């Protein structure tokens, strides 16, 4: 379990890097406000997360199945909503958080990953039992 958690963390770091790079690019280069830039950044990070969790963390191999894609999408929708909500709440409640939006996003993303996503991915990427 610890090995899987570490591999999941590595895949998550790659996805978070994608998310944060997109967020930073949109805010710094395109002058998009952090709240609005949050949505496309999260979406791109979610795509990277699926493949990282499937092939690196849970090593389920093979082509992605409809079952995995559907369940992952459900988990990600919940995680997406939690992350967006908590990020927005943090920016509203902690005045300094907006100035440090990357650190704020890292905190929120890690809380959602550890408390919500990682436990649910065990159901997403488990191999279905074969019928006898």
For the segment 24-76, what is each residue's pLDDT rounded down to a tens digit? 999 999 999 988 998 899 889 888 989 999 999 998 878 888 899 999 999 98
User: Is the confidence at residue 11, as pLDDT, over 90?
Assistant: yes
Examine residue 132 and state whether it is found in any structural domain, yes or no.
no
Instruction: Determine phi and psi for 31, rounding to 5 degrees.
Output: 60, 35
Note whether residue 103 is domain-resident.
Answer: yes
Query: What's the pLDDT at 129?
Result: 60
Percent of the chain with pLDDT over 70: 95
Question: Which residue segment(s) compose the domain that 67 sits in?
Answer: 2-124
Number of domains in the chain: 1
User: Looking at the whole model, is its pTM more than 0.85?
Assistant: no
| Confidence at residue 100, expressed as pLDDT on a 0 to 100 scale | 93
């Amino acid at each position: 379990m610890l090995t899987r958690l570490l591999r999941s963390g590595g895949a998550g770091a790659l996805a978070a890097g994608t998310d944060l790079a997109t967020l930073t690019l949109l805010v710094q280069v395109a002058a998009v406000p952090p709240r609005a830039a949050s949505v496309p950044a999260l979406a791109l990070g979610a795509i990277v997360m699926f493949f990282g969790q499937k092939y690196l963390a849970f090593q389920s191999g093979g082509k992605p199945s409809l079952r995995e894609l559907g369940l992952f999408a459900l988990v990600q929708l919940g995680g997406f909503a939690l992350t967006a909500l908590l990020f927005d709440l943090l920016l509203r409640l902690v005045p300094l958080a907006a100035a440090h939006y990357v650190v704020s996003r890292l905190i929120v993303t890690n809380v959602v990953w550890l408390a919500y996503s990682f436990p649910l991915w065990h159901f997403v990427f488990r191999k279905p039992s074969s019928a006898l």
